[in-house]
A and B are shown apart, each in its own frame.
Chain A
Amino acid sequence: MKLGFLVDLNLCMGCKACEVACKVENEVPLSSWRLRVKYIDIGSFPNTTREFTPLRCNHCESAPCERICPVSALHYLENGIVNVDNSRCIGCAGCMMACPYGAIYMDPETNTADKCTYCAHRIEGGLMPACVVACPVEANIFGDIEDETSHISRYIMEHQSFGGGVQVRKPEKHTSPKHFYVGGGNDSLNPLAHERIEGYGLFNNITHLKEIGDPHHSVLDRFLTPIFGAHHDHDKNEGFIDMPNSDKHESHEEGGH
């Protein structure tokens, strides 16, 4: 069995239900994401289109994150999922440097690496990943790509020969991703093909995280917390984001819709 994922971008309408379901199911902390939907605008007014691209871990067959992890915290499950063992992770961030898809984050609560696991805990119990269940248009298709009769295998076979075909992100990296897209183009799948222009976001102007992991987790805390426990309030998320309009100056523009 080799589990794979396919997103039909022709169906995706950018509702972010998958993103929210993932956050809730996996209790993904503020400032972090396992699955996100990116909006990309193409063309010039009035001839413009908006594309939606859900992005998550690609569960590569030749995963750079698994290779670089010094303690096997990132490891393969028998069904092909690249899983994370948080209790073993040393927080070196090597996996974050290795993943060509930027799919791994440093959990600010555990200070260990984390990422999408295709909801391995749900699959173990015979359930579909939370994002698949939440999608209102069934754009997310999940299943065994080694089983020719599975929905995902048939979907791949049907779409391979026409349109844009079935694509993966960054095939030149030779990571053999097990996450496929139908209906995607260079604009939606190649991060170098689109610009992130400061101030042109729809709802915010945050471009980069200020901190990786917990901003209150100082060098001293890193040694003392495992022994004495955390002494600060994790509910405060100040400093997670680099927000030029925040704090004393003026109210920030986030959430303006």
Chain B
Amino acid sequence: MDHGTVIEATKAVVTLDVALPGIIWGWMITLNMWAKSIGTGVIIVGAYLLYRHKKEDMPNLRWLMPLISFVALNVFLLFTLLDLHQPLRMVNIFFHPHWTSAITVGAWMATLFTALITIMALIGFFDEFSDVRRNCAFAKKIRGMSGFYEKVFPFVVFLAFPVTMYTAIIMAEASARELWAAPAETIQMILAALMVGSASLTLIADKWSEGARKDLATVLAVSVLLSFLMYMAEYFFSFKAAEVEATLEYVHTGGSYHTQFWAAMVLGYIIPFFIAKGSMKVENRTMMKFAAVTTLIGLYLAKSTWLEIPQMLPLS
């Protein structure tokens, strides 16, 4: 017992109670959200670039965009499943769906989204590498569906938005954790997708036109700036709600979450902003790749902090 602790005379102190739950949603859920942001972000940013530039300006986008999305979405789905205490019962979401739950709606949308991305990834891959499995019936069938890619792409882009946002609605439905408010988290999810979407595409943009790469830098700079401003607003001006203020004490008053939060802000937001802003004028590919990597690391750290600190607060 630390006899040096001073307790205010007016302060009530818990003297007997049970142990409270620790972190319930931990690193797997952080990884889940991070991977989903990449999976949807590359599609949203890819669509923006295709709207602004010719396909020839980004020769590998058609096959690499759905492939990156496919890998990221499978990481997301894998860790969603692994985090369940009864993963084999995941099928209950499809056979006994409860539609007021954002988990249910999200699971259905994410499944549909992943299915369409899988088809796009296959078409993109077999079209790009026309010699691979030339005599395979499956590959022939996929190559025969080539036109489906362009037909389904607008729908996939449309679906990417709710898929990236639904986790924010789950967090909003978690009414015990007031830090996670629906409008703020929803916008943060979109910005996160734009951040890591542009960061991921930066890593494959070596053969792209300079205009396309500058657009990537613009998306990265704008999204990290807006997201950073939102975090700062929540960090400094969330004093209206007692629970939110108590939650933010975990990042205000030092300790590991304080360090993690500011490491996230520097790596994921401040460094990429200045590098991307510079690259909008004078391009520096190496520095942009560095910014892309720090963005990916920083977003993971930021998500982890924001996910865990509300779970530290005693609810009862």
Contact = CB atoms under 8 A, between A and B. Distances in A.
B238 to A, nearest CB: 14
A1 interface: no
Interface string B51-87: 0000000000000000000000000000000111111
A96 B103 CA distance: 14
Interface of B: 1-2, 5, 7, 9-25, 82-90, 92-93, 96-98, 100-104, 107, 170, 173-177, 242-243, 246, 311, 313-316
Given A199-B1, A210-B22, A213-B85, A70 B107 contact: yes
Contacts of B10: 43
B78 to A, nearest CB: 10
B22 A242 contact: yes
B12 to A, nearest CB: 4
A70 B14 contact: no
Contacts of A205: 1
A103 B316 contact: yes
- How many chain A residues sit at the interface, stated as a range, is 35 or more
B3 to A, nearest CB: 9
A33 interface: yes
Nearest to A101: B316
Contact of A41 (B12, B88, B176): B12
B315 A102 contact: yes
Contacts, number: 209
A33 to B, nearest CB: 5
A228 B7 CA distance: 53
A188 B15 CA distance: 12
Given A88-B92, A94-B170, A192-B243, A36 B18 contact: yes
A103 B22 CA distance: 14
A21 interface: no
Given A99-B176, A106-B85, A223-B87, 17 more contacts: A39-B14, A41-B15, A43-B10, A51-B12, A68-B170, A70-B107, A71-B93, A71-B97, A90-B87, A90-B93, A91-B84, A102-B315, A173-B175, A191-B314, A200-B5, A210-B22, A212-B21
A207 interface: yes
Nearest to A214: B85
Given A195-B14, A210-B22, A72 B177 contact: no
Interface string A188-206: 1001111111111111011
